[in-house]
Amino acid sequence: MSVDHHLRWLSNETVIRYSEQRHRKHTIETQREYLKSFTGDNQIWEIQRNTVPLGTITAYLNTPNKTANIGILIGEPRVWGQGYGPEAWTAVCDYLFEEGTRKIEAGCMNSNKAMVGLLRKCGFTYEAVLPSYFLLDGKPEDMRYYGKYREAKVIPIQGTSK
């Protein structure tokens, strides 16, 4: 994976507005180190169209609990709203579920309407709010937390029929 497009994306304030990457200074060396960190239970995929990089998806696996926390960055604003995010997100979720992950989780800022829409479109369930978790433009911002299970669990309520 080349770091050139990553640096371009990470230097665009609009692209990283809702990303925690906005707090860091990015160089070729920091990006190389970041990419090297994806081994074992940390995974990264590059989203491409005709070999042109459009963004990335990361997954942090909790192997003992069979869960994964994933995030996405579509770095090319010219393709926003064209369906690449949900398509890539679904592909990664399908892969993780096939590999034995039982639950996938994701969090985002309350005001990140694009991410909220992606999560809903991809069948994630709103599970929790973490009040004032982030600072956005110096103001507290809630985190919305979503999850999706590989298999829906039906737990009968005691005293009712199945």
Rounded to the nearest 5°, which phi and psi values hold at 52? -95, 120
Task: Note the pLDDT tens digit of each residue in 79-129.
Answer: 999 999 999 999 999 999 999 999 999 999 999 999 999 999 999 999 999
- Whether the Cβ atoms of residue 106 and residue 69 lie closer than 8 Å to each other: yes
Counting every residue, how long is the chain? Answer: 162
Distance from C-alpha of 133 to C-alpha of 13, rounded to nearest angstrom: 20
> Are the C-beta atoms of residues 69 and 59 closer than 8 Å to each other?
yes
Q: What is the pLDDT of residues 137-152, one digit of tens each?
A: 999 999 999 999 998 6
46 dihedral zone (left: phi>0; alpha: psi -120 to 50; beta): beta
CATH class as words, domain 4-149? alpha beta
For residue 159, what are its two tokens? 């005293």
